[in-house]
Structure 1
């Protein structure tokens, strides 16, 4: 006899397969879940009764009888996604079928504290809950820096005052009475690429996130790599010596640092409010500063590629304003610097997803963790 938890897990797995488009009928669902059609039908009927699934129309295959088509009910509920860094909070809502409802960005004050950020997040979710039809089913949070997903803690982030051991999940779960799932914000972006972007057909890819800091997220064989201390991907802390003995990568290669280098601004110069637009001015740059930045990036990404051999590297953040040429120049430079990459140059792509990617991924995180109630 199946336990309640086993039933809930299989119901959730069925919903994910249907949402992703992999399963469109009872037969394909049974094949993918490696169970009999009768057992798969049990889960389909359960989801139909609970109002999460509908079965309508006919799907005609190449052979055999036509099959009735399965689809999730968008109005069954929604998932909230929050992603933030030192500059802004992004919030998104995704319906039960996995479609984006809305996404909005809100700036943070330059000296925002951890307490202020958490209060603002709660306020934004409350406002979205009031205007979004259907029940809130879960919240996903993409937090910057090092996080502990198991305990729901934001462990450390140098760019927000007081951001240390912040109990993100418990505070939001207490407030909204729904499951809250926490992840590093770049890893939520990796999920956004899987559901909404260029990673839909890939098992191995890397998110490049040179924003206010510089980290990466690694999808390996369809799974996110977190590390034993939840710190995998913090390459901004790598030693970086060119021109700055004792410095780190984030001193020279974050989006604000690249803008200062290209514009000739001093390290103390405050970055523009719209960094993406400010960087667009340099999208056709070819001078020595541009070439040095390309070389610096090639050094980092070439080493990553020798280590990870990923299928693709998706660039996110303000540096996407520099266009595909920025990515192509870096890829070409990796081969010049590292001849071993001549036959396998890294494929570096500016993401097709915008600033909402992290919040979309956080919504996806909540969506992937959803489990329904099982019948008693």
Structure 2
């Protein structure tokens, strides 16, 4: 038996057929067309999904179900994508209902970070833990929470929207209207934006960390502060959720120990429960496939 995962993003959509062991046996990607109506885009996704199943000789009755990971805000109970900032035309879109016109198997919608958390818990870096937190630091920042081997989704599926937890108001106004949000300070978008201002040219987050390693006089104090603010956020998350492990994914996580070492040091110093100061903070194992594998794994029972 298999499951079909669909990971919806602002620029691309990934599809994958996944086994119960987490093996991807077939996948496809297509661009997210922001110029067409969501229903038309969903019809295209369904058509591509059917072609993918056909290409691998898998019948619909061989699927446990279809899992969809999508950016929030959403309403997983009603199967609706409600108001995602990076999908401006997708407002109160009943994606589960629309997909159900093409498929007869169970279909489940969850926040994309929650789906990635399920992937890492089931097949990845946190598979040997009962209580884990997955944090993605990329274009935006989000989290997925596993407690007692159960995904904590919240009343509408938006639990884990940590990107808009206020860390330091002195960093200015976030797109959400608050001042000093975690995402506004520490996301890849934020780092690239601020470093580009400092240097007067467009600089990617990856390039910013390379400059950091060369002890660039402009970049070092800025990124030292940003990484400290990340540490503050992780301390708050550990104090609040008490996870056994934190798994970090997303593009910014690829900075590796340049990022992880000072965060671990900060956490060890400031968590209220001193034993929690040793909470493992590790790189995601499944990387860019976590979202689509996790979407598929939504159809599998958690261990």
CA 1:95–1:304: 2 relative to 1, 3 Å: closer
Distance 1:318 1:303 in 2: 22
Aligned to 1:242: 170
Distance 2:41 2:232 in 1: 35
Aligned to 2:23: 99
Equivalent in 201, 223, 227 of residue 290 of structure 1: 223
What is the aligned residue count? 288
Shift of 1:104: 4.2
Shift of 1:361: 0.7
1:220 aligns with 2:147: yes
Shift of 1:90: 1.7
Aligned to 2:85: 158
SS at match of 1:125: helix
TM-score normalized with structure 2 length: 0.83
Shift of 1:288: 1.1
Distance 2:239 2:25 in 1: 39
Contact 2:142–2:161, Cα closer than 8 Å, also in 1: yes
Equivalent in 67, 72, 83 of residue 140 of structure 1: 67
Shift of 1:174: 1.0
Aligned to 1:25: none
CA 1:97–1:209: 2 relative to 1, 3 Å: closer
Contact 1:324–1:349, Cα closer than 8 Å, also in 2: no
CA 1:119–1:222: 2 relative to 1, 3 Å: same
Of structures 1 and 2, the one with the larger relative CO (CA 8 A, separation 6+) is: 2
Listed one character per residue, the Cα deviations across residues 223-242 of structure 1 (whole Å, up to 9, x for unaligned) are 11122343211122223413
Distance 2:226 2:295 in 1: 31
CA 1:140–1:266: 2 relative to 1, 3 Å: farther
| C-alpha RMSD of matched pairs (Å) | 2.9
Structure exhibiting the larger radius of gyration computed from Cα positions: 1
Distance 2:68 2:200 in 1: 31
Aligned to 1:48: none
Contact 1:205–1:218, Cα closer than 8 Å, also in 2: yes
Listed one character per residue, the Cα deviations across residues 166-212 of structure 1 (whole Å, up to 9, x for unaligned) are 11111111112322111111111111112220121101110112233
Gaps of 5+ in 1: 1-76, 370-376
TM-score normalized with structure 1 length: 0.68
Shift of 1:165: 1.6
